[in-house]
């Protein structure tokens, strides 16, 4: 479904903008017409009966003016989808661009010492020493984890949004939680998903 903004409203009304439906997307022909309408937001079911929602994403991302793409699964509860839509109106504040330190990363991720040791492929004792202030040795896993935490801070509007992202099932990650990928050391999968969010694909 493609939505086009009808107009902005003063903050006192509690509404940032209203959107009018352009038209549903039921075929590739509809998709071409939607591209011509240049909608502001497109809601895409990942499992549409006629064609794969990912095809729609690829086509729309080639537009001159890429709309905000909200991906969902038909099995997702309407209240969950509404929360995702509401989050789009959240203003993003400037966040630090340098890499966080390990203690900051652990606090933001909300993980245990045991989970950290699994992420970094070190012993629990080593993870404990690092968290107590011993300077950690540079490893590929540590560098990658800190890079992903920095990426989350850039892609998501707040610490609460980061934790919500980490601990909720993600359709683009086969329904798994991003935190589970990180604990298994599968950093690249989460990084790719976050980069998609930065490019305007919301799940």
Can you tell me the distance from the alpha carbon of 1 to that of 44, in angstroms, rounded to the nearest whole number? Answer: 7
32 Cβ contact partners less than 8 Å away, ≥ 6 residues apart: none
Cβ neighbors of 156 (< 8 A, separation 6 or more) are 162, 165, 194, 197
* Helix spans in the chain (H): 28-37, 53-60, 78-87, 102-109, 113-120, 124-131, 140-155, 159-167, 178-183, 187-198
Does the domain formed by 2-87 have CATH 3.30.1360?
no
The parts of the chain modelled with pLDDT lower than 50 are: 7-18, 88-94, 96-97, 202-203
| Contact of 123 with 117, CB cutoff 8 Å | yes
- So what's the pLDDT on residue 65? 65
- Phi-psi sector, 121: left (phi>0), alpha (psi -120 to 50), beta: left
Helix 140-155 × helix 113-120 angle, to 10°: 110
Predicted local distance difference test score (pLDDT) of residue 4 = 55
User: pTM for the full model?
Assistant: 0.53
171, 203 contact by CB (below 8 A): yes
pLDDT of residue 78: 59
Domain layout of the chain by residue ranges:
2-87, 102-202
Q: What's the count of helices (H) and strands (E) in the chain, helices before strands?
A: 10, 5
């Amino acid at each position: 479904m493609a939505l086009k903004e009808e107009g902005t409203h003063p903050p006192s009304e509690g509404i940032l903008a209203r959107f009018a439906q352009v038209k549903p997307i039921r075929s590739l022909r509809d998709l071409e017409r939607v591209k011509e309408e240049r909608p502001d937001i497109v809601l895409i079911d990942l499992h549409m009966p006629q064609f794969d929602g990912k095809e729609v994403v690829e086509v729309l991302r080639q537009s001159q003016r890429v709309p905000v793409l909200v991906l969902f699964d038909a099995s997702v509860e309407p209240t969950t989808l509404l929360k995702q839509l509401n989050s789009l109106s959240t203003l993003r504040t400037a966040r630090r661009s340098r890499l966080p330190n390990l203690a900051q990363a652990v606090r933001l991720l909300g993980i245990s010492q045991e989970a950290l040791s699994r992420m970094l492929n070190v012993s629990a004792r080593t993870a404990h020493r690092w968290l107590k202030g011993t300077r950690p040795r540079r490893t590929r896993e540590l560098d990658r984890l800190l890079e992903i935490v920095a990426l989350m801070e850039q892609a998501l509007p707040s610490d609460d949004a980061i934790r919500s992202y980490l601990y909720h099932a993600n359709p683009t990650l086969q329904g798994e939680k991003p935190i589970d990928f990180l604990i298994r050391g599968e950093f690249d999968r989460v990084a790719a998903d976050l980069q998609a969010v930065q490019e305007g694909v919301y799940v």
